[in-house]
Structure 1
Amino acid sequence: MFTRLGAMLVFSLALSLPAQAEQKVQVGDYAIHYVSFGSTFIPPSIAKNYDITRSRYIGLVNIMVKDTSQDKVGTALSAEITGYAQNLLGSQKNLRFKEIREGDAIYYIAEIEHRNEETFTFSIDINNGTDLDTNLQFEQKFYVD
């Protein structure tokens, strides 16, 4: 039960952050939800449970894919998610996404090291092995708190 609660807290916390609100992109029958935020927003017990590093210099990227087709509305999907982040100087960092499954929910979390006020452009490939094969791009500035 705690792990289910932990995942819900991770995702709901991410959704409640006013400066880094959750964002969504619709690709065909799929809704891709994504958010990035500082890892210190995660309570220590939840970070420990999911092996997430809490640090002023670590940001998190959270991706979730949901089916929005008529017969499967809201069903979370597993996907292959890979990508990288590039800062304004052109330095690239590969992202290693970790899948978290809790009941019917499936989340993908990656950590990224950053400096204060460092801005990254994220390029994330999402593929479900059938009819979803897309690239998600977004920009995020991280702060050391």
Structure 2
Amino acid sequence: MKYYLLPFCICLLFYYSPINAQENISYDLGEYTVYYNVFNSSLIPAEVAQAYHLTRAKDRVYLNVAVVKKSGGYGFAPAKLEGVYRNLIQQQFPLKFIEIKESTSTYYLAPIHFNNEDILHLDITVKPNRTGSETTFTITKKLYVDQ
């Protein structure tokens, strides 16, 4: 009887695993889409981190933001970005965005220092093409220290 439960338990593990989770990675701004993700700084190769003066640490992540125009061409648009991040006890820290320009794209990185298993709320204000109206949206992430 116990051998019949094993496949069922494995199926349950996969169903409730993070692999199955659907996470929103974009925000619609009409003629622009804002794509974002948060990644651990250890994923940045040492030579790239040195070239862009980025800090690599087990308790540091980067918020990566790109603003893409929906019509034509490569579509990456320069933007004005501001923001803050808050922890669960509402301590607030500024997001200091670094503009990274490559031949066909512009994106922005903001370093975030955190404690293991922190749940952070990131309030991001975007102004596409650095003109026009601003839009603010919030994302929430639970972060883990890189082992």
Would the TM-score normalized by the shorter structure come out above 0.5? yes
Listed as ranges, the gaps of 5+ residues in structure 2 are: 1-18
| Correspondence for 1:49 | 51
Give the TM-score of the pair, scaled to structure 2.
Answer: 0.79
TM-aligned CA deviation for residue 82 of structure 1: 0.5
TM-aligned CA deviation for residue 22 of structure 1: 7.4
Counterparts of 1:43-82 in structure 2, within 5 Å, are 43-69=45-71, 72=72, 74-82=74-82
Give the TM-score of the pair, scaled to structure 1.
Answer: 0.80
| Correspondence for 1:89 | 89
Larger Rg: 2
TM-aligned CA deviation for residue 84 of structure 1: 0.3
For structure 1, which segment, 100-109 or 132-141, has the greater mean C-alpha deviation from structure 2 after superposition?
Answer: 132-141
The residue identity in structure 1 corresponding to 2:58 is R
- Distance 1:41-1:20 versus aligned 2 partners, 3 A rule: farther
| Correspondence for 1:33 | 35
CA distance in 1, matches of 2:67, 2:51: 23
3-state SS of 2:90 partner: coil
3-state SS of 2:76 partner: strand
TM-aligned CA deviation for residue 73 of structure 1: 5.2
Listed as ranges, the gaps of 5+ residues in structure 1 are: 1-17
Measured on the aligned residues, the alpha-carbon RMSD in Å equals 2.0
Aligned residues of 1:22 and 1:33 also touching (Cα < 8 A) = no
- Show structure 1 runs of 4+ deviating over 3 A: 18-22, 129-132
Match for 2:26 among 24, 27, 30?
24
TM-aligned CA deviation for residue 43 of structure 1: 1.4
CA distance in 2, matches of 1:95, 1:33: 16
Between the two proteins, what is the percent identity of the paired residues?
Answer: 31
- Distance 1:20-1:114 versus aligned 2 partners, 3 A rule: farther
| Correspondence for 1:7 | none
The residue identity in structure 1 corresponding to 2:39 is F
The residue identity in structure 2 corresponding to 1:130 is T
- Distance 1:108-1:20 versus aligned 2 partners, 3 A rule: farther
TM-aligned CA deviation for residue 74 of structure 1: 4.1
Aligned residues of 1:37 and 1:142 also touching (Cα < 8 A) = no
| Post-superposition CA distance 1:42-77 (Å, at most 9, x none) | 1111111111100001110000001003xx354111
CA distance in 1, matches of 2:145, 2:63: 16
Compare the two structures and name the one with the higher strand fraction: 1
